[in-house]
Structure 1
């Protein structure tokens, strides 16, 4: 059983040439029963391409025939270049779920469409032509009601004018394919970027017409960078408003001072990476008066090792 309820060939036999004011034609189709059917448009072709372009349909060229009545719209675009009658072909094939062509297909029909030369008010420029709806159809690279505007991709910037596809005329002070570069007579210092004649985009921490002024009155120290008004971004190992204070992790405790990043200066009598170790009793014994009674004490291995290394400096590296 044919899976659709309309026969293209019968429509062809009883239909005269389609009038000028008709731009599309609807056909209704529907799959019968529960079986699945598939369709494919083998041909949508104008036989008079100087009068009409290839016909169009509003459904995919390959798909499933719907089980509910649905409309397939066939469009026939007249070019509007000349008066005449154009023939066009519609050829569709229907298959079952096994891929076999069913009876009564392919449906192949030739229709005729009456077209006339169109006139667009103002005309169409740059190779555009007026279609039957009196609208200019522009070639690639042009747009506008009369195809009078060239299309530049990327677009012309900074007030540039696209005069032909891909070609911009730049205003004074700009250059480049799309006028995106400024021709600056002055130089932007300290990494600034010229974006407009005489105008610089300054990196953080700098200002002025040429990025010549630092926002930090006092310079950031130890490799720090000015990132805002009196605001420094410190390099690793330093902190403070001007990055002048070294950082020791986890710190130098109560008996030391951070002298350089992760280097503590210990108070007299203290040592260790974090100044948390006190020197052994051997130094105290050496400073006692002669004849003083000493208590018996067996030093631990750890303290014995500490005594073998008398301090040469209070700086721990």
Structure 2
């Protein structure tokens, strides 16, 4: 059910009659915010040149105007006013069909979005008028993104506070160092993707994980001394 709004605006107009009569026009628009009837009341006082009110005045007149709430889809944004269906009146600094675009006079860095004259909405990890200041005192490396105060979100293949450490899966074992994502640099005498193969080795069988019920094959002390078999692990040598 429509809730009608009755608005009365009283305006007193004083007309001084000297030679000719004055014609006064008054208009009042609908704001498009609600349904109802708006009323405009005018009181007219007519005076002569000496300042005396002429008889039969003041005169009173009331004007009515029916207003309906306008519907804008999508709705008007950033304080825009829907005056007729599909038509938004945008506030200063915005434009577009639904006032969704800002009249920007600045550049936002690091993925920032301009939302008002000279103002930027900064992504996580950045601050400043133009999003030019990183919250990380030291920059995140290898494509990492600063997501908070000295906090980096690392890209795939890297880890660490600054994303400076590469990740090798499952790892480089005892005889290798991870130098790039999934790339091991082996110590002298060792090779293989995970540095688990010894040059000149006899191809020892896999050592079983700790806790295995099966008896492990252990080389003789002399053989172990010659080949420098590492402690028990899951690698195949």
Return the TM-score normalized by structure 2.
0.54
Write the deviation string for residues 240-297 of structure 1: whole angstroms up to 9, x where unpaired: 1111111111111111111221121122222222122222279xxxxxxxxxxxxxxx
Instruction: Report the CA distance between 1:142 and its aligned residue.
Output: 8.8
Question: Are residues 1:145 and 2:42 paired?
Answer: no
DSSP 3-state at the match of 1:265: strand
Please state if 1:206 is matched with 2:126.
yes
Unpaired runs of 5+ residues, structure 2, are 8-31, 38-65, 203-237
1:253 has 2:173 as partner: yes
User: 1:221-240 residue pairs with structure 2 within 5 A?
Assistant: 221-240=141-160
Distance 1:259 1:142, change over 3 A: closer
Alpha-carbon distance between aligned partners in 1 of 2:138 and 2:192, rounded to the nearest angstrom:
36
| Map of 2:139 onto structure 1 | 219
Distance 1:218 1:151, change over 3 A: same
Structure 1 or 2, whichever has the larger Rg, is 1
Q: Which residue of 1 aligns with 2:190?
A: 270
Alignment equivalent of 1:174, drawn from 81, 89, 94: 94
In the alignment of these two chains, the number of paired residues is 146
Name the CA shift for 1:277/1:188 in 2 (closer, same or farther; >3 Å). same
**How far off its partner does 1:122 sit?**
5.9
SS in 2 for 1:188: coil
TM-score (norm. length: structure 1): 0.41
**2:28 corresponds to which residue?**
none
Report the aligned-residue RMSD.
Answer: 2.7
Q: Cα distance, 1:152 vs. partner? A: 3.4
For 1:254, what is the secondary structure of its paired residue? Answer: helix
Consecutive unaligned residues in structure 1, runs of 5 or more: 1-119, 124-140, 283-317
SS at match of 1:242: coil
Distance 1:189 1:254 in 2: 44
With over 3 angstroms needed to count, the CA separation of the structure-2 counterparts of 1:220 and 1:149, relative to structure 1, is same
Assess, with a 3 A threshold, how the Cα gap between structure 1 residues 161 and 274 changes in structure 2: closer, same or farther: closer
Q: Is the 8 A contact 1:216 1:231 kept in 2?
A: yes
